[in-house]
Amino acid sequence: MGRRIALFTGLLLALSACDGRHNWMAGAGAEAATVERLFIVLMIGAAVIWTAVVGAAVYAHTRRAHPNREREARLFVIWGGAVLPTLLIGALLVWGLTILRDITADEGDLTVRVDGERWWWRVIYETPGGDVVTANEIRLPVGSTTLFRLTADDVIHSFWVPALGGKMDMIPGRETTLALTPVKTGNWGGLCAEFCGGAHALMRFDTVVMEPAAFDLWLEQEAQPAQVAAGDPGFEVFLDEGCGACHAIRGTEAAGPVGPDLTHMARRERLGAGIYDMTAANVSRWITDTHAMKPDIDMPPYPHLDGARLEALVDFLMRLE
């Protein structure tokens, strides 16, 4: 018995994703609260229906068949077996659909486009001054509604920040929308919730919810081009190795549209789409031993880079703040 209770408790903890960052019951988002309410009401609805059905079965078992009660029995089956369940489940369905409308709103205080790539996230803030492009980290102001316009490059992904609200599919050639209103500051985990190929389980991102003033400052800095000194030895290596064919660093001639924008790479908390801490050691290994850190991705490894050239490149990248 003790073992069974332990197993059950373990299962409950696993279901609630108890690491906190991914907990949909963390109370971090208005839309997550809506989903939580839906869950609780549906659970209560299910419990009521289950109790009624099991109760009726037990009651029937204790009774003998009685020819005089045929009419009563038929009425009971019609009302209890068809009319009541249809009304109850229909009401839950209608209510659930109105909630769906709430979280797929088409406007927000801020609009962010997110593009699902294999296996990372292209993030574009729409601002009055133009688009601000970043990757793999989304920062949001607390207390405001952000409208996410979602799409995908070539396969279907699913955008999910459990602590903030429900998930939404990202479909190539189509745009889906999702509104999120964070109510608690913190770094909430985001992930891809649809199997999309080799590195699906390593397709994550940070969602950093900030005070509005700090967010405005961050976005303003993010919109600036990179500060790269003429003749920077690390940038020379970057260009020599052809990194600029895939990666863009705004303010320089590197304008590759394929991989993540690196303009302010070193300000991000993590490397490799939410997987590794952004440290010089990790960046160095990422360049030389890419597929050991994240299998199947398009970026080729550069194992021939070592010594002073690798050091200069990593030093340059870690200065992209």
User: Which residues are near ligand CUA by CB under 6 A?
Assistant: 116, 119, 157, 192, 194-196, 200, 203
Nearer to ligand CUA, 199 or 313 (CB): 199
Nearer to ligand CUA, 102 or 154 (CB): 154
Residue whose CB is less far from ligand CUA, 119 or 148: 119
From the CB of 116, what's the least distance to ligand CUA, in Å?
A: 6
Closer residue to ligand CUA, CB minimum distance, 120 or 316: 120
In angstroms, what is the minimal distance from the CB of 115 to ligand CUA?
11
**Smallest gap from residue 273 Cβ to ligand CUA (A):** 9
Min separation Cβ 9 and ligand CUA, Å: 30
Closer residue to ligand CUA (CB): 50 or 195? 195
Q: Which is nearer to ligand CUA, 88 or 124 (CB)?
A: 124
Q: Tell me the closest approach of the beta carbon of residue 169 to ligand CUA, in angstroms.
A: 10
Whichever of 234 and 259 has its CB closer to ligand CUA, that residue is: 259
Neighbours of 318 (CB within 10 A): 16
Least distance (Å) from ligand CUA to the CB of residue 271?
18
Cα torsion 83, 84, 87, 93: sign: negative
**Smallest distance, Å, CB 171 to ligand CUA?**
12
